[in-house]
Structure formats: C-alpha cells, structure tokens
Amino acid sequence: MENNIQKELKVSALENGTVIDHIPSDRLFTAIRILNLDGSPNPVYFGTNMNSQKYGSKGIIKISGRYFGREEINKIALVAPTATLIEIKDYKVVSKYDVETPSEVQSFVKCFNPKCITNHQAVPTKFKVFTDANGVLKLRCHYCEKTTTQENMVFQ
Amino acid sequence: MKNRSLISINDYSKEEYLKVLDIAEDFEENPRQKILENHVIATLFFEPSTRTRLSFESAISQLGGKIIGFTDASSSSVSKGETLMDTVKTVANYSDLIVMRHPLDGSARWASEVAGVPIINAGDGANQHPTQCLLDMYSIRKTQGTLENIHIAFVGDLKYGRTVHSLVIAMSQFNATFHLVSPEELKLPSVIKKYIKDAGLNYYQYTDIENVMDKVDILYMTRIQRERFADPIEYERVKNSYILKNDMLENSKSNMRILHPLPRVNEIEEAVDKNPKAYYFQQARNGVYVREALIALILGLK
C-alpha cells in the first residue's frame, strides 16, 4: 500500500496517453530524443533512477494525450529493449506490451563509418538489425555494409 | 539478371555467378561480337582507376558499344558541387547502363536506387568491387577446371584487402579450404571469417608464407601498404617476408597458380613472371571477358 502511494506521488497518473516503463536508467534521455519528445507539444513527465523490482533501477516516461504506432515505438528497442508500453484511456490501462526489436531501422541512426555515403550526401540511412554470435545487437548499413554496434549508435 | 544492378558480391546467387562465368567463356572464344552497337554505356569514374576503367572500356568497345563518361571527378560537374544523385539521374537519360567508381562506401547502392538504369559497381570506396571477384573466380575455374573443393591461400593484407574479402565470401559457397597468411596486425576480420564458419568450412592462419606452399591450388597475393601500419618499424620488419620468389615455389603443387589483383609493387619478384605458375596477367585479361558477359546479361543480350 505504502509503495503504491509513493508511486502516485512520484509521477501523477494519466487520464489519456502512453506510459513507457522499464527503460534502463542511463538510456532515458536517449529514448526521449529518439521519440522526438523534446519537441512534443504534449505534457511529458519523466523520471529516472527509480526503484524497479525487475531491474533494480529504471526510467519511465509518461506522455499525456498521445499514442504511438508500433513501428515508431519499436525504435526505442535499440536502446531500451526491456521497455514496456502501456496505453491509458480514462485512467484505465487499455493495452500493455513489450517493445520489439525492429528488423530494419531507417533514418534516425547515423552510420558509424565516416566514409559512408550517408555521412556525406543527403541519403537517408537504412540498416538491417541483427544480433551477433554473442547476442549483441548490431546494425548493418544497407549502403556501406559496415556494422554499427550499440555503443557507437548516434541518433540523428 | 536482365536490368539488375551488380553492387555487391552478395547480390547474385551461386547459379547467377556461374552463368556469368559460362557466358564469359564464350567471350573468351570470341571476344569481338558486335552486340552493343545500338547501346550507349556510361563510365563514371569519380576517382581515377585506370586499370579498371580500361578493362570496362575495352569490353564495351569489343562489343561495339559507345562510351560516354569521365575519368575523374575534377573534370565533371561534381567539382561544381553536384550531388551523386543528380549526376547519376542525368547520365541515366543518356545511357543504357552506368559503370561507376566512387571513393565513398555505399555510393553505388545509392546510385542504383535513384538512377533508373542498371549500375555496375566498379568499386565503392573500401566496400565492394564485384567484377574483380568475378574475374578472380573465372581465373580459378579456368586454371583448376572447377571452383569446388579448392585449397586457396590468401597472402598479405587480409584486413583491408577488399578483393580478399569478396573472394573469401564467394569461395565459401564452393567448399573451399582457406589458408590465411598475414602479419598479426593484418589478419582477416572476424566478420569475414564468419562466412567461412557459417558454411561449415575450415580455415588455417599462418604468419609464414612457406608453410602453405605445398598445400594450395591457388596462391592469391596482395600488396601490403605501408600506411596500414601504426608503427613504421613493424612494416619494415614484415614487408620482406611476403615477397614471392621463384625458389619459394619449388615444392608447390604442379596445378598451383599465382593470382594477384594488381597493381603489383614488389610483392612478387619480376623473375616469377616467367614461371608457368604465374597467372596474374592472364587474370587481368580475363576481366575483359567477365565484364563483356556481365554487360551482355544485364542488357538482356545473352
């Protein structure tokens, strides 16, 4: 009970909108940037370094009055594969699902290869997403065929 | 293959490569066939590559085609700041097919998406140079009678060598065994080794070229460039150990042939040129037949 009250106090409940939960604490601001929330006209609430039973620590974003397409929200799987999406209507949870890693990403990640055409001319980036033998998520550039690893991802 | 661009060695299936090689054999028998008389082909060399350009232009000329284009970017509208997209779209209005060479990785793929005519990639930066790979395969099949079950050694710069990477990937489809000879700092990257592993094939790594001499059917030599070494002393130490000399070939198999993508600097002594196992100049000639075949197939003329 006490726990619930604390939660209520930390971030106010949404009437309508989207909650993105279980974002790794250190990826919260990157997730905000990927979803372009810094330019959003809607009220946006966020918190990070919050207690999580599942992960120890987590970040959370609440966006009032806005819903996302699956494809759009799956973009954040690149940095926050553990994220959960909750859609709220009239204070009630109407759907809840985990983000899924997309098989292809377009336009919002920069290619790590400085000699790639996408870094020199107005060519939208395009990558195939794959996991290597060690389960590490990587992007393979459709143009230069070079690999960009998670730690080298820069978002446009 | 009609109207399809060739950008990367992964674009074509094994059957399609073999088709190109079969048609190339016809052109070797009869290289001057006037099948391109009603065609215009553009050769756009955004960076100079005399050898590759002349090989393509020879192939087009022997088929009776007309050539338009430029030999380096400074003599074209690129120097006025035109984008690659605009250049390619414009030239596509004037030609049936574009052969292009460009210093940036991925440039040929991008061009193929905007041009509206097929593109043959004649080298995009450090990325791909698929016609070199096709002519290497043609040369292997020509000298060994088959592409299957070949023992092939790659010698020199296996880390940055674009031709090495493409040929390893291609030969992984033909049950090859790979013998990789390089200095420690220029070993084959793991992303390329993955193709060998995924095909369930074996590779062996060496630092000494003598270790592979009696084992292989093909000895694929490459140039080691000084600028690849952070430490110039390290370059001085290794450079002489990868120079091929006639006496090193004494124990090699009788069917063994030496390939090299050229240009050679000093990694094969000139005395080796007279050795019947030297095949690198014929290899360059084979490039013309392979390019004739590829152009004919893409234009639907074969």
In which band, very low, low, confident or very high, does the pLDDT at B239 lie, cut at 50, 70 and 90? confident
Instruction: Report CB contact under 8 Å: B104, A113.
Output: no
Sign of the torsion angle spanned by Cα atoms B181, B186, B190, B192: negative
Which residues contact residue A85 at a Cβ distance below 8 angstroms, ignoring those fewer than 6 apart?
A18, A19, A20, A21, A68, A73, A95, A96, A97, A98, A99
Is pLDDT of B248 > 90?
Answer: yes
A111 contact residues in B (CB cutoff 8 A): 106
User: What fold does the segment set A2-98 form as a domain?
Assistant: Alpha-Beta Plaits (3.30.70)
- Give the separation between CA B79 and CA B267, rounded to whole angstroms: 36
Considering only CB atoms, which residues of chain B are within 8 Å of chain A?
A: 8, 83-85, 103-107, 109-110, 124-128, 191, 194
User: What fold does the segment set A104-155 form as a domain?
Assistant: SH3 type barrels. (2.30.30)
- Give the separation between CA B263 and CA B227, rounded to whole angstroms: 16
Burial class (CB within 10 angstroms; exposed 0-12, middle 13-18, buried 19+) of A137: middle
Distances (CA, A) of B114 to B59, B127, B191, B204, B251: 25, 19, 29, 42, 52
The angle that helices B107-114 and B84-92 make with each other, rounded to 10 degrees, is 50
Q: Are A37 and A64 in contact (CB under 8 A)?
A: no
Neighbours of A96 (CB within 10 A): 12
User: Which pLDDT value is given to residue A11?
Assistant: 52
Give whichever of A71-75, A102-106, A124-128 has the largest mean pLDDT: A124-128
Specify which residues B151 forms β-bridges with.
Answer: B177
A143 contact residues in B (CB cutoff 8 A): 105-107, 109-110
Q: Are B122 and B49 in contact (CB under 8 A)?
A: yes
Cα-flanking dihedrals φ and ψ of residue A99, to 5°?
Answer: -70, 150
What ipTM does this complex have? 0.90
User: Which pLDDT value is given to residue A13?
Assistant: 82
Is pLDDT of B198 > 60?
Answer: yes
The angle that helices B50-62 and B280-298 make with each other, rounded to 10 degrees, is 50
Instruction: Report CB contact under 8 Å: B110, A121.
Output: yes
Q: Do B131-284 and B32-128 have the same topology in CATH?
A: yes
In which band, very low, low, confident or very high, does the pLDDT at A4 lie, cut at 50, 70 and 90? low
Copy the structure tokens of residue B144.
Answer: 């060994």
B106 contact residues in A (CB cutoff 8 A): 111, 116-118, 123, 141-145
In which band, very low, low, confident or very high, does the pLDDT at B72 lie, cut at 50, 70 and 90? confident
Nearest to A145 among B8, B84, B110 (CB): B8
- Give the separation between CA B154 and CA B242, rounded to whole angstroms: 11
Query: Each residue of B91-124: pLDDT tens digit?
Result: 999 999 999 999 999 999 999 999 999 999 999 9
Distances (CA, A) of B232 to A8, A65, B60, B189, B237: 64, 62, 43, 22, 9
Is pLDDT of A67 > 90?
Answer: yes
Is pLDDT of A6 > 70?
Answer: no
Nearest to A116 among B8, B105, B191 (CB): B105
Domain extents for chain B?
32-128, 131-284
User: What fold does the segment set B131-284 form as a domain?
Assistant: Rossmann fold (3.40.50)
Is pLDDT of A8 > 70?
Answer: no
Is pLDDT of A3 > 60?
Answer: no
- Give the separation between CA B297 and CA B31, rounded to whole angstroms: 15
We find that the CATH architecture of domain B32-128 is 3-Layer(aba) Sandwich (3.40)
Neighbours of B54 (CB within 10 A): 15
- Can you list the alpha helix ranges (DSSP code H) found in chain B? 14-29, 50-62, 84-92, 107-114, 130-144, 162-171, 190-198, 232-239, 280-298
- Give the separation between CA B58 and CA B291, rounded to whole angstroms: 9
0.95 exceeded by pTM? no
Copy the structure tokens of residue B276.
Answer: 């019947």
Is pLDDT of B292 > 60?
Answer: yes
B8 contact residues in A (CB cutoff 8 A): 145
User: Which pLDDT value is given to residue A9?
Assistant: 45
Copy the structure tokens of residue B199.
Answer: 């095909």
Pick the more confident residue, B240 or B13: B13
Copy the structure tokens of residue B65.
Answer: 């085609």
Calculate what percentage of chain B has a pLDDT beyond 70. 100
User: Which pLDDT value is given to residue A10?
Assistant: 47
In which band, very low, low, confident or very high, does the pLDDT at A7 lie, cut at 50, 70 and 90? low
B83 contact residues in A (CB cutoff 8 A): 121-122
Span(s) in chain A for CATH 2.30.30.20: 104-155
